Amino acid sequence: MNRRDFVTALGAAAAANWSSSTAIAHAAMSPLKQLADHKGLMFGSSLALKYFTQSPAYKQLFISQCDIATPELQMKWNSLSHQPGVYDFASADQLVTFCETNHIKVRGHTLVWHDSLPAWIPGRLSSTTAETIMLDHIHAVAGHFAGKLYSWDVVNEALDPGSQRQDGLRTSPWLQNIGVDYIEKAFRATAAADPHALLIWNENYLEVSNGFGAAKRRAMLAQLDILLEQGVPIHGIGLESHLRGNQANVLGDASYEAFLAELAKRGMKIFITELDIQDVTLPADVSERDQTVADIYKKFLTATLRQSAVKGVIAWGLSDAFTWLSGYAPRKDGLPARPLAFDANCQPKPAYYAIADALETAPRRA
Ligand code: XIL
């Protein structure tokens, strides 16, 4: 039985309320990290240990599926520090220890972002203070985890074509107070604090093949050329890939693949870093909704994984029980969101099989 027939059979079993469907699902389920590994890829998810207390099954699922993880909150500035210069690394350390114990690599996330800043920051930022505040933060945080992380998202969401700036950069508090070279300074400081981590620029909506996406891609390539020309230590690009169910026709087209090739030409390693699919505009019917979501996963991943500079797929959660989208993009009909590979009971959905299929058809990396 191939995967698609299997899903159909599962659906029939569920419809007949066949109690052993769960056991069958497990029997046919190859861990995504294993399918990825066969192709020289990594597979993982965002991680928050609090979900494991709520669901031990989720903990088992996480360990079985992932060989890389991104802390969902614990390394963000507003999680680490509530007062200037005072840091509490306890929960982030706990997360790193959990990952070490379970042979899961950790992606540090994130050092310089306009979002998730502690309440004290806005009042203190000025053109005379901002650079020191940013560099001290990088020194403290990247220094604390030095040698323990696979990578750092040094700069997060630095582009905003809506800013009306020629260079497409977001007018973030960092840009406003430090200037455009805050990006260069952040990368250099992170390299000095943790010479072993891969240094990543993580960005959203690069994959959308409309005018907005195209503007982002152009702006990123132009910035990359400047940074690389100046010898800035930047090693990779994160494609957040928060996809939307109603954008199926504009995801992962030829101009997007050409962009990935341009990144590869510049020596960038590429990671899908926050993959999920908003189902807020999709029909209520669960099987129809799940199928549309699965089709988008398949289309997007197939296009992206064709590029061998893509080294890993990290989802923004594994089970629909624990998705940020239930708060960020709730459905108007009040039905629970179904954006991820596994349902609220940690059972595989059509999305899981779509991801598995895309990994199995991906070319092998060296
Ligand atoms: C989100 C978390 O999932 C939420 O729990 C939190 O409230 C806000 O941040 N881009 C990013 C991630 O880089 O850090 C964000 O994570 C989602 C968008």
For residue 252, what pLDDT is reported?
Answer: 77
Architecture of domain 3-361: Alpha-Beta Barrel (3.20)
The whole-number pLDDT of residue 28 equals: 64
CB burial of 270-287 (b: ≥16 within 10 Å; e: otherwise) equals bbbbbbbbbbbebeeebe
pLDDT digits (tens, 9 = 90+) for 284-294: 999 999 999 99
Quote the ligand 1 centre to 231 CA distance (angstroms). 30
Protein residues whose CB sits closer than 6 Å to any atom of ligand 1: 72-73, 156, 240, 274, 324
Overall pTM surpassing 0.85 (yes/no):
yes
pLDDT tens for residues 310-360? 999 999 999 999 999 999 999 999 999 999 999 999 999 999 999 999 999
Q: 196 is written with which tokens?
A: 């072993």
Examine the pLDDT at 20 and tell me if it is beyond 60.
no
CA pair distance 299, 296, nearest whole angstrom? 5
Taking residues 90-108, report their average pLDDT: 98
Each residue of 115-164: pLDDT tens digit? 999 999 999 999 999 999 999 999 999 999 999 999 999 999 999 999 98
Torsion of CA 351, 354, 359, 361, to 10 degrees: 180
| Higher-scoring residue by pLDDT: 184, 15 | 184
Centre of ligand 1 from the C-alpha of residue 72, in Å:
7
Which ligand 1 atom lies nearest to the CA of residue 157?
13
Sequence spans of domains, the chain: 3-361
> What gap in Å lies between CA 185 and CA 233, rounded to an integer?
10
Q: Quick one: pLDDT at residue 29?
A: 84
Q: Whose CA is nearest to atom 12 of ligand 1?
A: 72
Helix, strand, coil percent content, the chain, rounded in steps of 5: 50, 15, 35
